[in-house]
Structure 1
Amino acid sequence: TVVNGYESITGQINTEFVKFNKEPENSVNLFADFNGRYEANIVSTSKLNGKWGQSILLHGNATVGEMDDNNDTFLDRPKGNQINAAYLLDYNDLENYGFGSHFGIQYLVDKRIAGQVGFDDKLPQISQNKYGVNIDINRFQVWNKTGYIFKGKPYQSIGLMNQFTYHKQNSFFGLRNYFGEQKTYYSNLIFESIFGNTNHKYKTGASFLYDDYNEDYLAQNFQRTETVPGLFFEYTLTGLKYTLVAGSRVDFHNLAGTQFTPRINFKYDFSPKTILRLSAGKGFRTANIFAENQQFFASNRSVEISQNGGKIYGLKPEIAWNYGASLQQDFKLFGKKASWITDFFRTDFQNQVLVDLENPQKIVFYNLDGKSFANSLQTQLDFSVAKNLDFRVAYKYYDVQADFADGRKEIPFMAKNRGFFNAAYSTKKEGKDAFWTFDTTVQYVGKQRIPNTASNPTNLQLPEFSDAYMTWNAQIAHNFNKNIRAYFGGENLTGTRQKNPIVDAQNPFGNYFDGGMVYAPIMPANFYVGFDVNF
């Protein structure tokens, strides 16, 4: 909805951290795979007093194994480690005074090392002949959400959210350095009430975004500060069989100008088992061309920006309209409940920042001159064939094309056809805490267009399209009681791999080296074990 911002080109994700509910929750998860990756997760929620609760969230992982299964001298996956910690504090006095507040602080440090086997990240890149990649990320975030429900008016409330984020990345890819630093402050004030009765609700408010960017790529520095005050209004109409949510916002972007963003969502229940959803609206965003395309830094492509007078890297922002429909039908199959959902969405870009890889010696960024669109059709069937045996079958068609400088093309590395099958079985019985679960998933990924490599030497040219492939994952878990669970599983059990994911891997400092042409799994079959304890 427009309440949460203007970047709704393909949807929005709302992340909620685990909070104290009615009883303390404490859990530990341990995970290890057979190729040298280890994880630990700790969650603890507790009550401090009648109105205060806290949450402690900890995550750590380490990848220590060196793996080069295809013998191209490059690691199949990066080594490194991450520590991610968050502390949440909740105040809840909604019953007496209608007041609640939520505080949070989070810190993350993540270090990854990739490149050739034997690369030493402790030595400068220029003092060794191995190709290396080093990515070092630090991120700090603090936020508060405070809300008040008016006494005697449970339909009327006011809420304020404030968040500050600091993100820094130091990295190099071979002889190429990239440094990125971002400071973000975001604030959103929301007032919610009704017109007459609760069938006519509205939300209105104001937001403010401050984004400060400082980036170095090779010898070039790119700095910008975005300030975006905004206003919004949203109306919700609720009937017996329908819900209509219509809203719009206007944002005053200091670099991209004033932006108007309307959105409308409609839901209609033909019957309790037949539901139609419709949506349409506009989205707007500024593209961070370096941070969003780092997978192409591990190559010897030169970087070009075809500026056109915009104020973000010399480029104009991305603006898109999207429209969608979703039909859900519930019915009986094999005497048991089943559900069928079909979605169709279309996105039309009014403006877009294109990433042109059609010259294998270059990566060129420029604004769209022509048309760019995406059609997405997905259909999904969920059903049970026996007690505790559930199936899911899905198919997705994805048609994404744009007018590049040399004509209309499919966006590379986008499979037009995807298939999905999942089967899940449980031996759980009423009144029994111990049981087994079995889960398996098969995915089909159709062919993908590969950027043009015709100007490379013959032995370094890639086909126009990749081969389609399938992957198979499976897991077995056993719950010993309410609090203890162990599991064992495997990923990519078909052993599907892209044979030569790196172009000219034997000459990493040569003109044709390119580690960005990856379209399929690189790792062979991988097995893992895990253990959960709740107390």
Structure 2
Amino acid sequence: MKQNILLMLSLIGFQTAFSQVEQDSIPSSIEDDTLDEIVISGTMKPVLRSESLVPVEVYTPTFFKKNPTSNVFEALQIVNGVRPQVNCSVCNTGDIHINGLEGPYTFVLIDGMPIVSGLSTVYGLSGIPNSLIERVEVVKGPASSLYGSEAVGGLINIITKNPKNASLFSADVFGTSWGEVNTDVGLSTKVGEKAHLLMGVNYFNYSNPIDKNNDNFTDLTLQDRISVFQKWNFSRKSNKLFTIAGRYFYEDRWGGEMDWNKSYRGGDEVYGESIYTNRYELMGTYELPFAEKMFFSFSYADHDQNSVYGNTPYMAKQQVGFGQLTWDKKLGKHDMLFGAAFRYTSYDDNTPATNEKDVTTMPGFFAQDEISLNTKHSILLGARYDYNNNHGSIFTPRVAYRYKANTGDVLRLNAGTGFRVVNLFTEDHAALSGSRDVIVLEDLKPEKSYNVNLSYLKQWYFGSNVLQLEASTWYTYFTNAILPDYDTNPNQIIYDNLNGHATSKGISANVDLILGNGLKFIVGGTLMDVSTEEEGVKQRQMLTERFSGTWAVSYTIPSINLDIDYTGNLYGPMRLPLVSEWDPRPEYSETYSIQNIQLTYKGFKNFQIYGGVKNLLNWTPSKNVPFLISRSNDPFDKNVQFDPNGNAMRTPDNPYGLVFDPSYVYAANQGIRTFLGVRYNF
């Protein structure tokens, strides 16, 4: 049967185009899931995913709604090879691991801008309104040749909606049996003749202290958070792009002993970790009024953190400014991109390590050339030069090759280098929460990495069914690796350039199966080995699993307007930081799985009701361990005796020679709970 279809093509950096075509009808359940998406993160150019020489994974709100969450950090738990890591049992600070590499190796962007970086990586991954997200693009492997420092392990680019295409009004509200309440509201409207506005507000509140493992500490950090986002698109006579966006974020979070309140803030009577965060962001893109495709993009973020960890105050301020000019030029078989960027970072806090404001400037230049040899073979050559005022010149090249037999049969090979300049203020949180001191043994040199990645994408269509396989293997070699050493001295976290090398290698596969009967499977698995080798001794990296898996199984029953979603993940054992040689807790975590189920009723116009159960197996990291937080009964170490070297001594009151330490954690200590929510979209 023939039908007329109106196609809308919307690319980042371009105005929306429409075209009407006639084609055989396609079952909507398949069409929605198998379109060749537009991606931009791999090469900074909007291209079809099958055309990108760099493998880019795309996740839409439809995917994340299978397991509704209050923020992007939690939403990523069902993405294969990506693991949200909780780093503190008390304040629940977290970061995102990609293919086993720690959070500082992951670069988080909003609309291509380095908004979430530095100080904001500790708590700033919360509060990005889910209702404003168009899609999330994930690139696994180094991207430093385009994006600079921090993009060593991979990048996550959060693409916000175009105000012209967004719903006029949307609302999403849900609550859980733990007392969490999340509200997302979005509004899109035309302002005058030349402007479109997209506005969103996210409010999250959790004010119900719970202590299921009976250690007198909150299992989950209490939070009161609001985030307001605006994005403006302006129409120009030339039809060129001009967009500006801004966000304000405020959060009051605390965790600690169950009887803590704000009257104890900063004192040593009752232990609590209390963090106030004020954050402003501004970003935009302006297409220059020339015949050539030239764009100027900019962003600015101001972050103010007022926090206390027990009786230790931590007051920090950071400003990050970024500007970038790009020139997109096609010449015959060459599709080129040239760019110049400048990044300014100012940081100051009240700690002895920062006697004066730390200012880092980093101008950079990059170029890439995508050469189409013929319809099946393409290569990409790219390089970036940066100058860091503290570390000097840094050069990062890369090369890529793509063989495309057809849209559903693509082989890609990528190789390149990366670099990372450590930002200890984002990584010394463990020194504030607990008794470990951060020690920097020398001036840290930039970390260098060398990476090779081979990926293969294959699609099969049979009848009304679709099967897609995407597999990859990678190898990354690090020199001057900068890793926290928890083992040498249990009272310290030592940062030093590794006198040896580190490696990350593994294989990963995703399988998508869409059946015409309404059943869909998204299943992924990763096997990896992340380790260091120093003076001939190989050691597995801390807090890194050997294997992991994720899945999302969905079934639609049209006759009763019901969707059923079953999602989950599985992680293998990880090496955990112990406090002393007598610490009775296991050195490795157990294999664990978080599983969720959801029912969504869509029988009303523009209105949905959804609910279900999270963490069906009621798993928490406190299971099968004698305690999760070390010395939770003495969080200020008032009854700990120390030897002349500063090490805790074994005493009748402290038989294991421990100190207070909440870093023995890797996931949220939150058990089974129900949830119920409603969505409205107009």
Structure 1 length normalisation: TM-score? 0.90
Aligned residue number for residue 527 of structure 1: 674
Aligned residue number for residue 408 of structure 2: 273
Structure 2 spans left out of the alignment, 5+ residues: 1-42, 44-144, 641-658
CA distance in 1, matches of 2:428, 2:615: 26
Change in CA separation of 1:404 and 1:166 when aligned onto 2, cut-off 3 Å: farther
Q: CA deviation at 1:334?
A: 9.2
Contact 2:166 2:198 in 1 (8 A): no
Aligned residue number for residue 634 of structure 2: 507
Q: How does 1:21-420 map to 2 (within 5 A)?
A: 21-22=164-165, 25-93=168-236, 96-126=237-267, 129-148=269-288, 150-151=290-291, 156-195=292-331, 197=332, 199-217=333-351, 221=355, 223-238=357-372, 239-295=374-430, 297-307=432-442, 310=443, 315-331=444-460, 336-358=465-487, 359-384=489-514, 387-403=517-533, 407-420=537-550
Q: CA deviation at 1:519?
A: 3.1
Q: How does 1:449-468 map to 2 (within 5 A)?
A: 449-456=575-582, 460-468=583-591
Number of residue pairs aligned between Structure 1 and Structure 2 = 513
Q: CA deviation at 1:335?
A: 7.3
Aligned residue number for residue 616 of structure 2: 493
The worse-fitting range, judged by mean Cα deviation, of 66-75 and 297-306 is: 297-306
Change in CA separation of 1:22 and 1:332 when aligned onto 2, cut-off 3 Å: closer
Contact 1:285 1:318 in 2 (8 A): yes
Aligned residue number for residue 54 of structure 2: none
CA distance in 2, matches of 1:223, 1:416: 40
CA distance in 2, matches of 1:220, 1:495: 43
Change in CA separation of 1:279 and 1:206 when aligned onto 2, cut-off 3 Å: same
Q: How does 1:422-501 map to 2 (within 5 A)?
A: 422-428=552-558, 435-456=561-582, 460-499=583-622, 500-501=627-628
Structure 1 spans left out of the alignment, 5+ residues: none
What does the per-residue CA deviation read over 1:331-372, in whole Å, with 9 as the maximum and x for residues that have no partner?
257972111111112221122221011132221111121011
Identity value in percent: 24
What does the per-residue CA deviation read over 1:193-243, in whole Å, with 9 as the maximum and x for residues that have no partner?
122x3x311111211111111133368646421111111111112230133
Indicate the SS of the match to 1:316: coil
Contact 1:296 1:515 in 2 (8 A): no
Determine which of 487, 504, 516 is the counterpart of 2:663: 516
Aligned residue number for residue 133 of structure 2: none
Q: Which amino acid aligns with 2:351?
A: Y
Contact 1:98 1:150 in 2 (8 A): no
Q: Which amino acid aligns with 2:577?
A: P
CA distance in 1, matches of 2:394, 2:441: 24
Change in CA separation of 1:355 and 1:207 when aligned onto 2, cut-off 3 Å: same
**Corresponding position: 1:12 with 2:155:** yes
Q: CA deviation at 1:101?
A: 0.8
Change in CA separation of 1:63 and 1:145 when aligned onto 2, cut-off 3 Å: same
What does the per-residue CA deviation read over 1:346-404, in whole Å, with 9 as the maximum and x for residues that have no partner?
22112222101113222111112101111132112221455110112221112111246
Contact 1:8 1:282 in 2 (8 A): no
Change in CA separation of 1:344 and 1:162 when aligned onto 2, cut-off 3 Å: same
CA distance in 2, matches of 1:51, 1:482: 31
What does the per-residue CA deviation read over 1:234-261, in whole Å, with 9 as the maximum and x for residues that have no partner?
1112230133222111111111101111
Change in CA separation of 1:525 and 1:23 when aligned onto 2, cut-off 3 Å: closer
Higher strand share: 1
Q: Which amino acid aligns with 2:606?
A: N
CA distance in 1, matches of 2:461, 2:431: 49
Contact 2:279 2:303 in 1 (8 A): yes
Q: CA deviation at 1:522?
A: 1.5
Change in CA separation of 1:249 and 1:478 when aligned onto 2, cut-off 3 Å: same
